Amino acid sequence: MNNPKETMLKKKIWAVMGVTSDKEKFGYKIWKILKDNDYEVYGVNPKYEEIYGEKCYASLSDLPKTPEVIDFVVPPAITMKSLEEAKELGVKYLWFQPGTWDDNVLKKADALGFYHIEDCVLVTLRGEH
């Protein structure tokens, strides 16, 4: 893949792992900017049933559609636990926000055959529009 970031940004069905209703947190800001840029976005966080009137899902397996990209906004331990589930669902692309990955997460993501990048989607989308 020549430019994984460009490839991922062309995918239109995303899941935000770690979405929150707190407008000051990145879990909300990332979910919101994806929605504002015409992505179909599903929030994943077992703490919420909905975020501002939109259904929130407890796990990736609960989503009504398989996301093309999963954006992680959770600690590395939760990211690590979600990799197997993402693989079982057939997801190919992972976007790791700063602070959501460590060497073990990256090794496992590579071993499972994911395409992944470690960057801030918020900064990326703000810079492109």
Q: What is the pLDDT of residue 127?
A: 74
Q: What is the pLDDT of residue 8?
A: 95
**Three-state SS annotation for the chain:** CCCHHHHHHHCCEEEEECCCCCCCCHHHHHHHHHHHCCCEEEEECCCCCEECCEEEECCHHHCCCCCCEEEECCCHHHHHHHHHHHHHHCCCEEEECCCCCCHHHHHHHHHCCCEEEECCHHHHHHHHC
Domains of the chain with bracketed CATH? 4-9+16-100+112-128 (3.40.50.720)
Tell me the pLDDT of the chain (129 aa) as tens digits: 568 889 999 999 999 999 999 999 999 999 999 999 999 999 999 999 999 999 999 999 999 999 999 999 999 999 999 999 999 999 999 999 999 999 999 999 999 999 999 999 988 888 754
Q: What is the pLDDT of residue 97?
A: 95
pTM over 0.75: yes
